[in-house]
A and B are shown apart, each in its own frame.
Chain A
Amino acid sequence: DAGVIQSPRHEVTEMGQEVTLRCKPISGHNSLFWYRQTMMRGLELLIYFNNNVPIDDSGMPEDRFSAKMPNASFSTLKIQPSEPRDSAVYFCASIGQGGDEQFFGPGTRLTVL
């Protein structure tokens, strides 16, 4: 199993640009999480999907952030327009039915200039 796959691994963009981060969860996992990690705020849960349905998006910081999960094997996190304070490492994680352990992807390091 390839584990959770995220792309791109690094993204550098200018303020105001749209950014799309992608995630492929582990096959068979039915829950997916997007996290953001910064030095100041640590690891924060942004949104949680279960069976492709957004269950909890209370961690999404602003309307500039949106996430979709069109099918069980793909999710996107979009920031439009991006701002310098969005610079962080964004992680995707997935979990299987009835499981407790979250499997994390390698993350996308986003830098907004």
Chain B
Amino acid sequence: DIQMTQSPSSMSASLGDRVTITCRASQDIGNYLNWFQQKSGKSPRRMIYGATNLAAGVPSRFSGSKSGSDYSLTISSLESEDVAIYYCLQSIQYLTWTFGGGTKLELK
């Protein structure tokens, strides 16, 4: 089974800060990495798919990148509406999928 290790589990940042969240895969997943945002009491929202592709309607301050087996979600300039829990999901095509443990992002 593929494990996804997400870090940090929680963090606080100030408005305008650059924020980076990381997931590490236990096996090669290619670019099959996605990021979701979940605000309190809401269903998750897809933000990034295929490691680097911005989902429709997602602000351009969000971006995804890959370095080896590490995948990152970056918010270039934090806004108040970005407070949420973020999850990565590996989705190796047509196989079993795995979410990371989540990162709770709060305002400092």
Q: Bound pair: A and B?
A: no
